[in-house]
Amino acid sequence: MHAFQITCLLLGLSISVASGQVVYTTSQESTNTILQPFDGGLARIQENNQIVYINRKGEKLIISETNGVIVNDPVAIKAYEEEQKNGRGLPKNVLKYHADSGCGVLSPTGEVLLMAAYDEVDIKFQQFWKLKKDNKISMYLPDNTVLPFFEDIGYLDGEYFDVMQDGKWYLYHKTQQKIVSGAYDKFDYCGGCTIPQRYVYTQKGGKWGIIDWQENVLIPFQYDHIHHGMRGDNWVTSFSKDGHAVTVNIRTQEEFLEGEVLMGMLIIAKEGKYGAYGQDGALVVPFDYDKITRPNANYYLGYRGDYLLTTKQRKTGVIDLGGNVIIPNEYDELMIYDDYFVGRKNNISYLLNKKHEVLFEVENGQIAHLSETFYSSGSNGINVFKFHTNALYGLYFADSGKTISPQFYEVERADYAFDGREDLPYIRAEKQGVFNLFDHNGEPIIPGEYQAISMDRSFPSSFIKVKRDELTGIYDRTHQREIIPIQYRDVEVLDSLCGLIIAKDGDYDSQLIHLYDFTGSRLIDEDLKQIYPVTDDTYLMQYTGDGTFALYHGKYRTVYNLPYKAVYDVGSDKVILVSDDSKTGKLYDILLLEELSDTYDISNFTYRDRYDDTGEQTAPRRYPILHRFINKMAIIEGEQGVGYINEQGNVILEPTFAKADPFSASGIGLVANYTGEYYRQMRAGYVDTTGNFIFPMQDTENLGALLPHEIIMNEFVLLFNTKNNNWNMGLGNVRTREIVIPIEYSFIRGTFDQAYFLLQQGDKWGIADRTGAIILPAVYDGIKISDALFRGSKPQDLFPVLISEGGKWKYMNEDGTYLPVVGDYIYD
């Protein structure tokens, strides 16, 4: 084995013993074939410096990563999985691939989404992927439908498609799976219209008209048409006739040479006055106005409303989309906020509703909607308005009619999640560094006494963190009172199930802690220096005054004082460590509230130096040194070596061993004794929680070269011996106490779930399963298993697996056959 490593280094190669692989490391251009294990459904191959992939059938795929998606990229995989959850059309995070059979589509994990059966695939859109084959065009749809192939095809509404056959265009119905119309020159459709169209733009005999899906002619074929300004309602604005643009109403087929469609109404001038036609083509606004405009046109905040502004004799008013006068033309200016209006005349600003009722007015001031960031999204349910005079803001709450006089420097929306709801609007108002908080009806959430307010999701939803002069407290908005006084550096939840809050003051060296419940009651009268959990609902506390300790039971609200100078957490939820002199101590049962019998040296917990500068003990050791509990077992260190105790204080293994590792989560401990002058030579074995050996101790060496999780693997453990001057490994099942893989291998490494074990025997490699059955005998020069199997990062099949024999790497199938790919080296 050592000669093999040296040879590899001389050749410019490196060996990974853990994987059983020879890895090509040269940076020069290569004419060799370099293989990579399968990751998901694909394996990466470099052939003469060209990157290709193969699937598990051995078919070569050339993958296009031009859209920024990369094979097996974690970011792309996560984005793809999110798309799958949302189900909004076809995924964007996919890749095109080419095989001998054609072009197809893969997910980032290598899953085939569309078989490679096409000359080309266009994956630009999420409504469809366009397929090309033998100069014919089809579409692949989100419901896995593949449409028939035509000379050309266009997407209309997802149920209807325009298809070309023999040079003419027809309507094709997906559900009926057939052409459902006669022949036409062309079709056009407004795919981006917010109103679903019930018709299609159609060209026949060189002229355009409109038909519905049943081929009823809605507008005759007598117009020219461009794909611009298309709509989904009764107005057609993309037609022209005799070189002039026209607007046509579908209901009446009336043509208009002038005008502009705003908010679904055709605004047109006649003899210098403006009027408007509605959706049915009838005149709904008489020609009485000097101007009719969109609400708040070009205003950067994007306020909106289903209304139009009118101007008459330089005064502004409002009409609705039915032509009804909402606000008469008597204002100098008007702003529309959904169904509310702010008008200004004679230096007075008015807030009006759609009944033209004055809700609020302010002289020599301005009124505006509270929100200033929604950009055409409307008020988001906030019917709250701010007004100001003399640089101070007041608030008017339209839903309740409540007014708060001008007194604030700043007012804004605050998105708190009180009561677990994030959609409720709140209004935060600031005055001289002090904040008020109101709901959308103007009711105060907290009094205006605090310099900062915030939400903490660990607290009940009605609790608000409040600050004044850099100190923190808690205000309960349900009971409308301060339940934790504002006198602390910080306040945080200790236990949400038991309803415990700790309030801290001071710095780390002089920390003061008070314990409260969720009602604001102080549970411990004394000041605490520290408090931390030892079980799910039991806490160890230390008092500030005399430094003594106590146990606090959160569920039952009971305190049990501990009459000891020092108390330590030892990593157990059953016992703590108590001491009268900070040198020796005993374990203390938390449930029984009593000491256990044995005494221990506690220098591991006091960090007292046990040795002087010469390495000698500073004092004779009378008691075993206690280590922290790990997985319910603690190492004890005596004069003769180390052993274990359990949480009952029982010695399960006398401290007579040179080495003891912490117990594993599966309840296994590894102990060893040195057997020679060479420190790596040991005799090691495994014990269970009763102290019994699961397998007899065996000679081994170099245990330090392996990590704990490589030695103890849940119910499996590595077994060792040193027969024939070799360090040999096997595998034992601690549950059945059987040897599943004989102790005759140079190296064994298990996959993450211990489904497979990589075996090395001399310089040959093989694979066994968890029962010990040999999947591949150890006769191969190298085996490379996918790293995903060792990491457990995602499900992964073992086969095809990379094996090396005769100086070449190959992919072996489970049945012993090979994929038709041979490599010179492999990637690591």
Three-class secondary structure assignment of 461-514: CCEEEEEECCEEEEEECCCCEEEEEEEECEEEEEECCCCEEEEEECCCCCCEEE
* Half-sphere CA count of 263, side-chain side, radius 13 A: 19
Mean pLDDT, range 585-592, rounded to an integer: 96
pLDDT for res 682: 86
How would you label 413-442 residue by residue, b for 16+ Cβ within 10 Å and e otherwise?
Answer: bbebebeeeeeebbbbbbeeeebbbbbbeb
Which has the higher per-residue pLDDT, 341 or 48?
Answer: 341
Amino acid at 23: V
CATH 1.20.950 fits 291-380, yes or no: no
- Mention every residue, 6+ apart, whose C-beta is less than 8 A from residue 308: 262, 263, 265, 267, 276, 292, 293, 294, 295, 318, 319, 320, 321
Cα–Cα dist 119/652, whole Å: 72
Q: Render pLDDT for 15-57 as a digit per residue (tens, 0 to 9).
A: 333 343 333 333 334 468 999 999 888 999 998 888 899 989 8
Cα 73 to its chain centre, rounded Å, is: 16
Q: Is the pLDDT of residue 7 over 50?
A: no
Contact 434, 448 (CB under 8 A): yes
User: In the 8-state DSSP scheme, what is residue 196?
Assistant: P
Q: Render pLDDT for 117-150 as a digit per residue (tens, 0 to 9).
A: 999 999 999 999 999 999 999 999 999 999 999 9
User: How is residue 203 written in tokens?
Assistant: 């060209």
Strands 825-826 and 33-39: parallel
Residues facing 638 on adjacent strands:
641
pLDDT for res 791: 85
Phi, psi of 137 (to 5 degrees): -120, 140
Strand ranges in 282-401 using DSSP code E only, listed in sequence order: 283-289, 291-293, 307-312, 315-320, 325-331, 333-337, 340-345, 348-353, 358-363, 366-369, 384-389, 392-397
Mean pLDDT, range 603-620, rounded to an integer: 65
Cα–Cα dist 664/447, whole Å: 55
Cα–Cα dist 289/313, whole Å: 8
Q: Render pLDDT for 445-471 as a digit per residue (tens, 0 to 9).
A: 888 899 998 888 889 988 999 999 999
Contact 453, 435 (CB under 8 A): yes
DSSP string over 420-465:
G-SSS-EEEEEETTEEEEEETTS-EEEEEEESEEE--TTS-TTEEE
Q: Render pLDDT for 418-443 as a digit per residue (tens, 0 to 9).
A: 554 455 668 899 999 999 999 889 99
Amino acid at 562: L
DSSP string over 794-811:
S-----SEEEEETTEEEE
User: How is residue 495 written in tokens?
Assistant: 């236990």
User: How is residue 180 written in tokens?
Assistant: 């459902």
How would you label 792-817 residue by residue, b for 16+ Cβ within 10 Å and e otherwise?
Answer: eeeebebebbbbbeeeebbbbeeeee
What angle is formed at CA 29 by the lines to CA 28 and CA 31, rounded to 5 degrees? 130
Residues facing 823 on adjacent strands:
809
Q: Render pLDDT for 155-190 as a digit per residue (tens, 0 to 9).
A: 999 999 999 999 999 999 999 999 999 999 999 998
- Mention every residue, 6+ apart, whose C-beta is less than 8 A from residue 692: none
pLDDT for res 777: 97
Which of 519-523, 562-566, 606-610, 673-677 is least confident? Answer: 606-610
pLDDT for res 418: 53
Cα–Cα dist 47/30, whole Å: 9
pLDDT for res 375: 47
Q: Render pLDDT for 465-482 as a digit per residue (tens, 0 to 9).
A: 999 999 999 999 889 999
Of 611, 685, 618, nearest to 653 by C-alpha is 685
- Map out the domains of the chain as residue ranges: 55-265, 291-380, 624-826
* pLDDT interval class at 12 (50, 70, 90): very low
C-alpha dihedral (717, 721, 727, 730), degrees to nearest 10: -40
Of 741, 726, 656, 651, nearest to 695 by C-alpha is 741
Q: Is the pLDDT of residue 399 over 80?
A: yes
Of 321, 270, 312, 277, nearest to 291 by C-alpha is 312
pLDDT for res 64: 80
pLDDT for res 88: 84
Q: Render pLDDT for 354-368 as a digit per residue (tens, 0 to 9).
A: 999 999 999 999 998
Q: Is the pLDDT of residue 639 over 50?
A: yes
Q: Is the pLDDT of residue 608 over 50?
A: yes
Q: Is the pLDDT of residue 485 over 70?
A: yes
Of 467, 472, 463, nearest to 519 by C-alpha is 463
Contact 463, 481 (CB under 8 A): no
> Can you give the pTM of this predicted structure?
0.74
Q: What is the percentage of the chain residues whose pLDDT exceeds 70?
A: 90
Q: Render pLDDT for 306-339 as a digit per residue (tens, 0 to 9).
A: 899 999 999 999 999 999 999 999 999 998 888 8
| Average pLDDT of the residues of the chain | 88
Q: Let me know if 630 is exposed, middle or buried by CB neighbors in 10 A (0-12, 13-18, 19+).
A: middle
C-alpha dihedral (361, 365, 367, 370), degrees to nearest 10: -130
